[in-house]
């Protein structure tokens, strides 16, 4: 028996079609296995690069702000105008503030101090409100306003972070306010404490 097979030569037209099919096959393989995966991976890398660049820009801004804050802290330290924000300890802090007020108000009359209950919490900081009042009487060589200011200065320059919020001055006696015999002072100071448990 004789083997039959394809033993003829392809025509030019058939050869062109075969070459076109081979080229299309190679192009399909190239685009399917190389070009599109590389293009897709390149797009992913570009997105990651943008994300990294964005993170770098944010970190540069943070560092600039951090450096600016450190420079401000150093300036304040050099000026000697530093205050501390003590850690929150209700009993210890209230005792310290009570002793501070007793010492500052010792030379005044009719003084009273009222702590506003449990300090409120805001953004990790305890805010303690202390309302107080006192009266200073006129003495030779000093006005009642100067005496009142000395007491307030003694309370405000203790080294604790605080702010004067309300202040009412009530002069009494004959004459104008500058020559008053006595001056009543009603005031509120807010002290700030760091609550690390919050």
Task: Determine the pLDDT at residue 20.
Answer: 94
- Of 27-31, 78-82, 86-90, 140-144, minimum mean pLDDT range: 78-82
Residues 77 and 130 both lie in one domain = no
Query: Quick check: is 1 in a domain?
Result: no
**Of 82, 99, 122, which residue sits at a domain end?**
82
What distance in Å separates the CA atoms of residue 155 and residue 61, rounded to the nearest whole number?
38
pLDDT tens-digit profile of 2-53?
556 567 788 899 899 999 999 999 999 998 998 999 999 999 999 999 999 9
Q: Which domain holds residue 165?
A: 90-194
Long-range CB pairs of 88-96 (<8 Å, 24+ gap) are: 88/119, 88/126, 88/193, 88/194, 88/195, 88/196, 88/197, 89/193, 90/118, 90/119, 93/128, 93/191, 93/193, 94/128
Say whether pLDDT at 177 is over 60.
Answer: no
- Mean pLDDT computed over every residue of the chain: 84
Kindly indicate the confidence band of residue 63, based on its pLDDT and cuts at 50, 70 and 90.
Answer: very high
What distance in Å separates the CA atoms of residue 137 and residue 179, rounded to the nearest whole number?
11
Instruction: Go through 132-153 and write b for each residue having 16 or more CB atoms within 10 A of its CB, e for each that does not.
Output: bbbbbeeeeeebbbebbeebbe
Task: Determine the pLDDT at residue 169.
Answer: 87
Query: Quick check: is 67 in a domain?
Result: yes
Query: Quick check: is 189 in a domain?
Result: yes
Q: What percent of the chain has pLDDT over 90?
A: 27
Residues 52 and 106 both lie in one domain = no
**Of 27, 56, 82, which residue sits at a domain end?**
82
Find the CATH number of the domain harbouring 161: 3.30.70.60
pTM of the complete model: 0.56
Q: Dig out the tokens for 82 from the structure.
A: 């530093």
**Of 18, 52, 82, which residue sits at a domain end?**
82
How many separate domains does the chain show? 2
Task: Determine the pLDDT at residue 52.
Answer: 94
Partnered with residue 47 across adjacent β-strands are none
User: Length of the chain, please?
Assistant: 198
pLDDT tens-digit profile of 89-131?
777 888 888 888 888 888 888 888 888 778 888 888 888 899 9
């Amino acid at each position: 028996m004789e083997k039959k097979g394809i033993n003829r030569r392809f025509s030019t037209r058939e050869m062109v079609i075969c070459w076109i099919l081979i080229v299309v096959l190679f192009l399909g393989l190239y685009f399917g296995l190389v070009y599109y995966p590389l293009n897709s991976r390149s797009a992913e890398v570009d997105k990651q690069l943008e994300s990294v660049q964005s993170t770098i820009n944010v970190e540069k801004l943070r560092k600039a702000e951090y450096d600016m804050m450190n420079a401000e802290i150093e300036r304040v330290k050099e000026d000697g105008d530093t205050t501390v924000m003590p850690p929150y300890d209700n009993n210890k802090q209230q005792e310290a503030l009570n002793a501070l007020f007793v010492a500052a108000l010792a030379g005044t009359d009719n003084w009273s101090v009222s702590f506003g209950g449990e300090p409120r919490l805001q953004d990790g900081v305890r805010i303690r409100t202390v309302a107080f009042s006192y009266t200073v009487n006129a003495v030779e060589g000093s006005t009642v306003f100067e005496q009142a200011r000395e007491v307030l200065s003694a309370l405000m320059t203790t080294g604790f972070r605080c702010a004067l919020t309300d202040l009412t001055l009530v002069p009494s006696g004959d004459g104008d306010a500058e020559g008053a015999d006595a001056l009543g002072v009603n005031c509120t100071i807010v002290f700030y404490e760091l609550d690390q448990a919050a």
